[in-house]
Structure 1
Amino acid sequence: MCRTFKDPTSSRGHALALLRVALPLALSQLSEMSMGVTDTILLGGLGVAEVAVGGLANTFFFTTMVTCQTILGGAGVLLSHSRGAEDHGRDSHDGRSVMSAAFVLALLIFIPCALLLWFVQPLFAWLAEPGDVVTQGSHFIHILLLSLLPDLAVIGVLRVALPSLGAETLLLWIMPAMALCNGITNAALIHGWFGLPAMGMYGSATATTLTGWAISFALTGLCLMHPRVRAVMKPAPVRWPIMKELLKLGLPMMMGAAAEILMFQITSLRAGQLGTQSLAAHQVAVNVSALLFMVCLAIGQATNVRVAYWRGSGRMDQSRRAAWTGIWVVLVWSILSSALLLIWPEKIVSLYFTGHAPDPSTAALVITLMKIAGIYQIVDGLQVVFSGALRGCGDAVWPMVIAVTNYGLIGLVFGGWLAFQQHWGAEGLWVGMAAALTVSSVALGIRLFSVMRKAEPVPS
């Protein structure tokens, strides 16, 4: 029994290895996601309009930033692959070169990301958003824009690298502090606590920006104290073959993530076209479902790390076992989170409107949307693990094709048809998203089983 417990290739060994990566990632991501939840709750104390405008602006900024961050995902695959190869006496990439190339790539992607966020006001106007969203929402985003550089070039790079280097616990140490700091600063600047100015809705954006800078410095300091991370953070010449491989993996990852994220983003904008009440209901429901999804995302990232690690070691049989472990773990969590949304949606709604109770129609719509989210929790969790395992195998193109096709045609076209042509409103938008996630999960699962069945060990 003791030998089985210590054997990394046993079922228990795979499960423990996955959880060692996934739990710190999940807790750190939940801490970061709780910032958005805290912001929404605090804005809810100001009123429904503030939840709608501030929630949409927050969502637009962070989804745009996260979409750009996903281009850095190739660095995680290469670092995990290299670590597996090194542990088993095989040739690998130089970690310093990978990290330096990832940092340069983050600086390059910062430019188009910043431009898109800067010109958000005409974009909102073109999308026929309400006047308050166009003016107040764009100003909110311009404040958040001041934290984009550290979010991408520091936090973004290190979030990808640390799990691959076996240092994911550093994220666990820093992210809860980030959430706490953000919550206190948000409340202080919104309401004028501790002698600070009462900035209302814009105090939330200012607090989030200050928190981003503070955490980037703190996380860098922690990394410099970790020997393995400090070793790869030393600057090295950026070699074109490394950059080329990062782009080969990262660009399809970014496009695939963009398809899914844009489906949710455009759905948020369409909810705004349906009115402030629909937008407020959508923001609360998407906030809750996204919070639960963070655990699924962590399991998917951990599966990516473990599959890439064993692929680097030349043990594709163990890559398959790592993928299966991730599937079973995410299935358990998805069933639990689905039950939460289906059984207790009313209690969740009451947490979001502490100062001003929403009107009955808004509350009823939130409950309906959360029940739809509860139905698609399982397929959403499975698709992110399938994608993580495929990318760990170096297959980034097919997940991109599946994502773009399903989220574009089913999520947006079909969902928009239900919402506006069939007059289902926000419910139609959410049914479209649920259908897209279901079809994507099935397609990604088929692709993963095909890749795993045919996969051969990577040559030394």
Structure 2
Amino acid sequence: MLVLAWPLVLTNLTQFALTLTDTVFLGRLGTQELAAATLGMNLFFAALAPCFGLAMAAAPMTAQTRGRGHGFVRGMRRDVRAAFWAVAGATLPIWLLLWQAEALLLALGQQPALAALAGDYVRALMWGMPCFCAFVALRGFLAAEQRPGAALVVSCFGILLNIPLNLWLIHGGLGVPPLGVVGAGIASSLCNLAMLAGLLLLIARDRHLRRFRILGRWWRFDASRLKETAVIGLPIAGSMLLEIGVFAFAALVMGWMGALAVAAHAIAVQLASATFMVPMGIGQAATARVGLATGAGDRAAAERAGWVALALGAGFMAFSAALLILFGGWIAWGFLDAANPGAAETARLAAALLVVAGLFQLADGVQAVASGALRGLKDTRVPMLLAGFGYWVAGLPLGLLLAFPGGLGPVGVWIGLAVGLFLVAGLMTWRWRGLSRGDRLTARRRPA
């Protein structure tokens, strides 16, 4: 599990670093720019969920196809091709939605100046969306083949490219005027395009992987595979939309409290999201390992893979919780320039939010790994319903009550989010325990 998980974890961290780089550069540009980019980023990732979920369906599909063995080369190619088609079909309506980002944010009660800046950022960022989702589908295929190294190499190249692009496009130079938040969005889009092209090139040059001919007959429409992609991927998208949406709505609530609250929320979310990349990668490894064992009909191996992944995810997040609680205040200053107005107040509020984030680290890691293990069983619909209950029925209403009638402000919102995460983690683990021991998997034994 570790051999497969660590490249996936590092790949997630490098991809996360693309938006983190934008946050760091824009935070030093000014609190207004950081707040606007945060609002735009939250809207972008909420809208991205359908494409991202459809792309992630490639992971359990290719893993189970590989586990079955017979005809897996052609079958895995069909799985990836179906994911590409699904992403392409979902891209245009999402682009049309994101083009109206400023109007959407204004309708949600955001300040006009912040909404305008955020809209400009999203319009530059959205062009890289299909490239990113296609990269995710290929990453799932590589995990099923237990060869995740190529995605890691390409992701490292992407972050190395994003830093000079941000310096150049945000601040201007070499004949390009300073573009501010728009420059950060363009830089991320160019990096996503470069990463997809680089990964396709590495797959084509690898002796083992080139036999799959991933882009072979890409124009062929495969209705049965496309239907399976939708059945698996849309609930994944729903789960992600529910989770991303609750944090995006929390950012909008911060917007009602002012730019300083939004900036502090942005810092806390970035740090909590960075630690989340580790259990997310372990969950992706669990999807592959559980899927391979399920395809091979080995119930014991699938069950063992899921519990090993859960133990690894919980152990790491307990460690990261201690770091955020003890050192969150110091870390927050890395996103701010002390010379900017409001920096000290933003840092104090961010430190308070990071204490709460530290408390829900364990729950966040467990629910991420458990959902990954369930995806290996192609079980995605019920986890979506569990996420909806935990985040929106329990967590968010409690957070709003604590924030406004309770007088806790931003900290109250985050306490509500923490309660929702603990509830989802418990429900996901309960679901995994039931399915991994039930009749969903056959009892036929094969070597692990």
TM-score of the superposed pair, with normalisation by structure 1: 0.91
Query: 1:411/1:23 Cα in 2 relative to 1: closer, same or farther (>3 Å)?
Result: same
Equivalent in 392, 395, 403 of residue 408 of structure 1: 392
Equivalent in 215, 235, 250 of residue 217 of structure 2: 235
State the alpha-carbon separation in 1 of the partners of residues 35 and 280 from structure 2: 26
Which residues of 2 match residues 25-424 of structure 1 at below 5 A?
A: 25-86=8-69, 94-152=75-133, 154-194=134-174, 196-230=176-210, 231-233=212-214, 234-235=216-217, 237-354=220-337, 356-357=339-340, 358-424=342-408
State the alpha-carbon separation in 1 of the partners of residues 97 and 206 from structure 2: 36
- Could you tell me which amino acid in structure 2 is paired with residue 100 of structure 1? R
Contact 1:77 1:305 in 2 (8 A): yes
Q: State the shift of 1:393 in Å.
A: 1.4
RMSD: 2.0
Query: 1:146/1:93 Cα in 2 relative to 1: closer, same or farther (>3 Å)?
Result: closer
Q: 1:4-33, CA deviations, whole angstroms, 9 ceiling, x for partnerless residues?
A: xxxxxxxxxxxxxx1122111111111111
- Could you tell me which amino acid in structure 1 is paired with residue 395 of structure 2? G
Extract unaligned runs of 5+ from structure 1: 1-17
Extract unaligned runs of 5+ from structure 2: none
Contact 1:190 1:201 in 2 (8 A): yes
Residue 9 of structure 1 corresponds to none
Q: 1:38-90, CA deviations, whole angstroms, 9 ceiling, x for partnerless residues?
A: 2111112111111111222133223432453112222211110111121xx69
Q: State the shift of 1:258 in Å.
A: 1.0
Q: State the shift of 1:416 in Å.
A: 1.9
How many positions carry a matched residue from both structures?
440
Q: 1:326-353, CA deviations, whole angstroms, 9 ceiling, x for partnerless residues?
A: 0111111101111110110122012111
State the alpha-carbon separation in 2 of the partners of residues 158 and 66 from structure 1: 17
Q: Secondary structure at the match of 1:244?
A: helix
State the alpha-carbon separation in 2 of the partners of residues 243 and 458 from structure 1: 26
Residue 7 of structure 1 corresponds to none
Identity %: 29
Residue 6 of structure 1 corresponds to none
Q: State the shift of 1:194 in Å.
A: 5.0
Q: Secondary structure at the match of 1:45?
A: helix
- Could you tell me which amino acid in structure 1 is paired with residue 110 of structure 2? E
Q: State the shift of 1:216 in Å.
A: 2.1
State the alpha-carbon separation in 2 of the partners of residues 75 and 46 from structure 1: 39
State the alpha-carbon separation in 2 of the partners of residues 211 and 93 from structure 1: 30
TM-score of the superposed pair, with normalisation by structure 2: 0.93
